[in-house]
């Protein structure tokens, strides 16, 4: 029985529908027999299970009183140093005190939205964009404005006009192996965005969980290397390179933003799991991460190639798709008269699933798009899934 | 270098000063040689280190692909069932689907503030109250209104007047072994609050992390047992009964509030650490928790008694304090002319620390109060700490 009279505030300021769509879709991956290209799940057989087990056991054996206890809001000192080192080695000098450990990079986005965004502020987002990031900004009361694309990049001229018109607080981007599209912004395009951010005084939130999963092509520098100021704040994650179940991510921040982030983090969960952080720091120190990353890159690259090879006979004539150099996703544009959401029912009847692209657009959904994940299954299952997709889409 | 022009939103809507005070104070506990009664740290030597290690190892050995993977936002099914069972056994019938696992109960408070509170809403709080909860409500834009005390309880008449005047969205309370005061509200007082919540249509957030740490006296029923409606939402935690480092808590919610909480949780961190949840579920199933809780109760009770026995000669004449039946804290009222914040410097010179009470008041600080934690140290260290306190306060 419920006589509660207060309306949940959340329902007034956030339309949970898109969120529920994707949640329901991902639930399909759990149906027995369905081959789902919908989820963004790393392949569990590529987790370094022995390494993770050994690291948890080591820290629980040697320092149980410490790793089971409360710990600093900013994060484990060894882990912060290791994350900072990984940035520095890749050409972005970073100090341990610049790193705030978060409960997954999702929390990094949530804290940034709390620290930077007031109700009514404009946040510029790519079109399409990562759904759960849009949720964070929407919950903080932001008005989301989509920046149009030009080719494989962001339309810099349009960005300049939008910045002038809206005085945005921030631009949110996943520049490398973007979710949902898999696209990577060029060095030149990144520099344009950073220049505009400095000119108009907005922050760039560079969400970068996939950059280390590169299977071909040359690395593109982080946007933070292109700014002599603190304009670019980065979020990162161990979810795609170690294990998502640990919920370990971070924000690479700066003296201007950090105090507010720490207050927000303290209110959010005091700190991230002490034992998970200690185990991850131990694992990084063991040197096993690089070997396992190499194994993942090889296998994921093979899976990407398998999917790319199979798409021509799986998709209707007139479809097109990109060839990402890494990450987890590729993006399909169907002929304009097709609606991916409507096709999904037929796909599920054929025991295969994908995510329709429409929910990833903040404002103007393109209904003839879909996101396909290529990393969860081994090549033979990908091929079988594409066979089913071909059967489902035989229109 | 920083030319960032956007002011962090957080700094405009939250005064971080009180938060920093307490953070700085707690940092004192890390100074070598200081005996700190300031922090709310469980005693690390009472963690069931062997049991925790065995449970982590078991889940990582038997299901690594599952416990290292993404998992449902609502939480581990076995863990939710175990939490629900523990409520049901104690007289509050609860279904697994009523439980939302959170990253510590701190996150439960954060999600509830997002789900229930809009900017400008009034949230009623005890005076004094748990600081990090006040932060959550303040971050959500709430106006905090203190409800005065009457004896060891909340002044029900004042509560009715405040409810009438402010149309509050919620009342936040820690009814059992309160932080910071250690007080426990009587059954009658709880029923009065629940009745007023139903009459005026506000929610009661019953934050209950300490109830299982009872060393004397008879249990008092949860406020949720006193309402035939969904007026009372409970938060709980494994931090004080298993280990805070796992960051495992929960909200006991209802069909009205749950959808908004799940959206907020998804935006906050997608889900709580899969491996920590699995290890906790394994540990609960092992039956070791009850044995360890018995050990903790015995030892913490001894520590409480040691502190209570030592206070008369440690504190200035005219001081008074309560005798909590459990939990972690007791509350000292010094003679009215003394300011605990000013006394702290002298205490630290004598290598002992406490938390001044003033920061725990949302509006009208009582400067002659202090919170003492009695659970972190064994009795001989407590006695030594009180000797130092006596020397420091010899005015």
Residues A251-266 have pLDDT tens digits of 999 998 999 999 999 9
Residue carrying the six token digits 């078991």: B58
Q: Answer yes or no: is pLDDT of A291 > 90.
A: yes
CB contact under 8 A, B267 and A136: yes
H/E stretch holding B336 reads none
CA distance B291 to chain A (A): 18
Residue B371's CB is within 10 A of a number of other CB atoms, namely: 24
CA distance B171 to chain A (A): 12
pLDDT at B384: 98
Q: What residue of B is the nearest CA neighbor of A106?
A: B269
CA distance A257 to chain B (A): 7
Residue carrying the six token digits 């820290």: A59
User: B interface mutation test: which of A47, A258, A273 has the most B CBs within 10 A?
Assistant: A273
Average pLDDT, chain A: 92
**Mode of pairing for the β-strands spanning B35-36 and B352-353:** parallel
CB contact under 8 A, B104 and A52: no
Per-residue pLDDT tens over the stretch A190-216: 999 999 999 999 999 999 999 999 999
In which residue ranges of chain B is pLDDT below 50? 1-8, 11-18
Residues of chain A in contact with residue B67, where contact means CB-CB under 8 angstroms, are 245
Domain covering A50-288, topology: 3.40.640
CB contact under 8 A, B269 and A275: no
Q: At the top level of CATH, which class does the domain B49-288 belong to?
A: alpha beta
User: B interface mutation test: which of A21, A72, A122, A275 has the most B CBs within 10 A?
Assistant: A275
CA A378 and chain centroid, separation: 22
User: Coil, helix or strand for B371?
Assistant: strand
Q: Which long-range contacts (CB under 8 A, 24 or more apart) does A11-19 make?
A: A11/B259, A11/B260, A12/B118, A13/A138, A13/A139, A13/A141, A13/B118, A14/A135, A14/A138, A14/A139, A14/B263, A15/A138, A16/B259, A16/B260, A16/B263, A18/A131, A18/A134, A18/A359, A19/A131, A19/A132, A19/A135, A19/B263, A19/B266
CA distance A114 to chain B (A): 6
CB contact under 8 A, B67 and A245: yes
Which of B71, B107, B267 lies nearest to residue A269, judging by beta carbons? B107
Residues of chain B in contact with residue A276, where contact means CB-CB under 8 angstroms, are 273, 275-276
Which of B10, B23, B255 lies nearest to residue A114, judging by beta carbons? B10
Q: What residue of A is the nearest CA neighbor of B24?
A: A72
According to DSSP, residue A298 is labeled: H
Query: ipTM of this model?
Result: 0.94
Distance CA A389, CA B185 (A): 62
**Residue A240: which pLDDT band, with cuts at 50, 70 and 90?**
very high
User: A interface mutation test: which of B239, B269, B272 has the most A CBs within 10 A?
Assistant: B269
CA B374 and chain centroid, separation: 15
CB contact under 8 A, B9 and A254: no
Which of A11, A170, A275 lies nearest to residue B245, judging by beta carbons? A275
CATH 3.90.1150.10 fits A11-47+290-392, yes or no: yes
pLDDT at A7: 40
Take residue B132 and report the two structure tokens written for it: 């990090």
User: Coil, helix or strand for A31?
Assistant: coil
User: B interface mutation test: which of A10, A113, A228 has the most B CBs within 10 A?
Assistant: A10
Residues of chain A in contact with residue B202, where contact means CB-CB under 8 angstroms, are 6
CB contact under 8 A, B245 and A73: no
pLDDT at B12: 43
Residues of chain B in contact with residue A259, where contact means CB-CB under 8 angstroms, are 8, 11, 16
Take residue A13 and report the two structure tokens written for it: 């300021």
Residues of chain B in contact with residue A231, where contact means CB-CB under 8 angstroms, are 3-4
Which of B60, B69, B106 lies nearest to residue A270, judging by beta carbons? B106
pLDDT at B26: 62
CB contact under 8 A, A230 and B4: yes
User: A interface mutation test: which of B64, B73, B209 has the most A CBs within 10 A?
Assistant: B64
CA distance B319 to chain A (A): 31
CB contact under 8 A, B256 and A8: yes
CA atoms lying within 13 Å on the CB side of residue B359 = 22
State the architecture of B9-47+290-392 in CATH terms.
Alpha-Beta Complex (3.90)
CB contact under 8 A, B260 and A47: no
Per-residue pLDDT tens over the stretch A142-179: 999 999 998 889 999 999 999 999 999 999 999 999 99
pLDDT at A151: 86
Take residue A156 and report the two structure tokens written for it: 């810099």
**Residue A9: which pLDDT band, with cuts at 50, 70 and 90?**
low
What is the domain partition of chain B in residue ranges?
Answer: 9-47+290-392, 49-288
User: B interface mutation test: which of A7, A9, A163 has the most B CBs within 10 A?
Assistant: A9
CB contact under 8 A, A68 and B47: yes
Residues of chain B in contact with residue A272, where contact means CB-CB under 8 angstroms, are 103, 247
CA–CA distances in Å: residue B3 to residues A98, A163, A202: 17, 17, 10
Q: What residue of B is the nearest CA neighbor of A44?
A: B65
H/E stretch holding A232 reads strand A232-237
Q: What residue of A is the nearest CA neighbor of B230?
A: A2
User: Coil, helix or strand for A71?
Assistant: coil
Distance CA A172, CA A203 (A): 8
**Mode of pairing for the β-strands spanning A122-126 and A170-173:** parallel
pLDDT at A32: 82
* CA torsion, ordered B219, B225, B230, B233, to nearest 10 deg: 10
For residues A257 and B234, the answer to whether their CB atoms sit within 8 Å is no
User: Coil, helix or strand for B81?
Assistant: helix
pLDDT at B349: 93
Q: What residue of A is the nearest CA neighbor of B49?
A: A64
Q: Please list the alpha-helical segments (H only) found in chain B.
A: 9-13, 17-28, 49-62, 64-67, 77-89, 104-116, 131-139, 156-166, 187-200, 258-269, 274-286, 288-314, 340-349, 379-392
Q: Answer yes or no: is pLDDT of A186 > 50.
A: yes
Q: Is A20 exposed, middle or buried (0-12, 13-18, 19+ CB in 10 A)?
A: middle
Which of B53, B115, B230 lies nearest to residue A60, judging by beta carbons? B53
According to DSSP, residue B96 is labeled: G
Cβ-Cβ pairs closer than 8 A, A with B, add up to 296
Strand partners, B329: B373
Residues of chain B in contact with residue A169, where contact means CB-CB under 8 angstroms, are 6, 9
Residues of chain B in contact with residue A107, where contact means CB-CB under 8 angstroms, are 268-269
Distance CA A292, CA A287 (A): 9
Q: What is the pTM of this model?
A: 0.94
Q: Is there a common fold for A11-47+290-392 and A50-288?
A: no
């Amino acid at each position: 029985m419920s006589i509660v009279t207060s309306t949940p505030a959340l329902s007034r300021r956030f339309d949970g529908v898109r969120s529920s769509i994707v949640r329901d879709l991902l639930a399909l991956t759990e149906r027995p027999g369905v081959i789902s290209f919908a989820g963004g799940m790393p392949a569990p057989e590529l987790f370094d299970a022995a390494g993770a087990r050994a690291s948890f056991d080591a820290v629980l054996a040697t320092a149980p009183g410490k790793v089971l206890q409360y710990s600093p809001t900013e994060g484990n000192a060894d882990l912060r140093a290791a994350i900072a080192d990984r940035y520095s080695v890749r050409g972005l000098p970073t100090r341990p005190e610049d790193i705030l450990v978060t409960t997954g990079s999702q929390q990094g986005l949530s804290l940034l939205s709390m620290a930077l965004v007031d109700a009514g502020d404009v946040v510029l987002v790519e079109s399409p964009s990562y759904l759960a990031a849009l949720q964070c900004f929407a919950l903080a009361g932001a008005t989301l404005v989509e920046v149009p694309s030009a080719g494989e990049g962001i339309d810099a001229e349009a960005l300049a006009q939008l910045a002038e018109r809206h005085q945005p607080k921030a631009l949110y981007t996943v520049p490398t192996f973007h979710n949902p599209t898999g696209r990577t912004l060029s060095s030149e395009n990144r520099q344009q965005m950073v220049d505009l951010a400095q000119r108009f005084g907005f922050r760039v939130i560079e969400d970068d969980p996939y950059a280390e999963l590169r299977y071909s092509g040359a690395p593109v520098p982080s946007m933070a290397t292109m700014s002599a100021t603190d304009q670019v704040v980065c979020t990162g994650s161990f979810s795609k390179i170690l294990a998502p179940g640990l919920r370990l991510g971070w924000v690479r921040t700066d003296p201007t933003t950090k105090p507010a982030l720490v207050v927000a983090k303290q209110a959010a969960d005091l700190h991230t799991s002490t034992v998970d952080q200690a185990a991850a720091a131990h694992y990084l120190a063991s040197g096993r991460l690089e070997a396992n990353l190499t194994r993942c890159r090889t296998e994921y690259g093979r899976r990407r190639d398998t999917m790319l090879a199979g798409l021509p006979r799986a998709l209707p004539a007139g479809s097109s798709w990109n060839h990402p150099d890494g990450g987890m996703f590729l993006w399909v544009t169907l002929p304009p008269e097709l609606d991916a959401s409507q096709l999904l029912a037929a796909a599920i009847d054929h025991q295969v699933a994908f995510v329709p692209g429409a929910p990833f657009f903040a404002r103007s959904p393109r209904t003839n798009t879909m996101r396909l994940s290529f990393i969860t299954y081994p090549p033979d299952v990908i091929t079988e899934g594409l066979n089913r997709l071909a059967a489902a889409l035989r229109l």
